[in-house]
A = this chain, B = another copy of it.
Amino acid sequence: MLYTLDMFATVVFAITGALTASRKEMDILGFLWLGAAAGVGGGTIRDLILDQPVFWTVSPTPLIVSLCAAAAMHFIAPIFQSRLTAITWLDAFGMAFAATAGTIKCIGLETTGIVAVVLGVFSASAGGIIRDLLGQEPSIVLRKDIYVSAAAAGATTLVLLNAAGVSIEIASVCGFCTALGLRGAAIAFGWTLPVYKSRPARNMNE
């Protein structure tokens, strides 16, 4: 199941990377580069921190599939009416897949719950962060709407259900739905978390 989730997360993030490449009018190798980096970035960082073999060096299938998806996007992307809307929604799916995959992998390695949640959140956001840094877009971490919170809620649900004795399959489905549902609602209805006495930086010297 972990392999399937990794595959989905990789492909979906690869497509968002390719769409970002399209917004920046890159050539086809730029699509492949940004697609691959966004696709495998989150899982790579997760595996490095967990001291596991990086998943796409063991079996290159996710890498190949995401390169193909990114190449296809080179020709398909101009069809999209709004690439940013497509990126936002696909990214929501990629986030939910990656958060679930990251958390499951940690549970399988029997880390503590807090490490599983934090690594789930990191895997879920790293691909998007790499994509936005390299494409010089505003980073997803800076978004006002619920993003990190959705990943954290999904990972926490999974860890708690698993600790409560629920089978890993059912816990994963619940975690995935929590993350995707929260993020989807945030996109659709503009949900944000309240901020305690918010005050922006007045200037560079504040």
Contact = CB atoms under 8 A, between A and B. Distances in A.
Interface of A: 22-30, 32-34, 36-37, 44, 48-51, 53-54, 56-57, 60, 63-64, 67, 74-75, 78, 82-84, 111-112, 114-115, 118, 121-122, 125, 129, 133-136, 138-139, 141-142, 144, 146, 148-149, 152, 192-201, 204-206
A201 B95 CA distance: 23
Contacts of A83: 201, 206
Residue from A30, A44, A53 with most neighbouring chain B CB atoms (10 Å): A30
Contacts of A37: 122
A57 B27 contact: no
27 contacts: A23-B201, A25-B195, A25-B200, A26-B195, A27-B146, A27-B192, A27-B193, A27-B194, A29-B193, A30-B141, A37-B122, A51-B54, A60-B112, A63-B114, A74-B196, A78-B197, A78-B198, A78-B199, A82-B205, A82-B206, A84-B201, A84-B205, A134-B139, A134-B141, A135-B142, A136-B139, A136-B142
Contacts of A82: 205-206
Copies of this chain, count: 3
- CB-CB nearest 6 A-B residue pairs: A27-B193, A78-B197, A23-B201, A29-B149, A29-B148, A25-B198
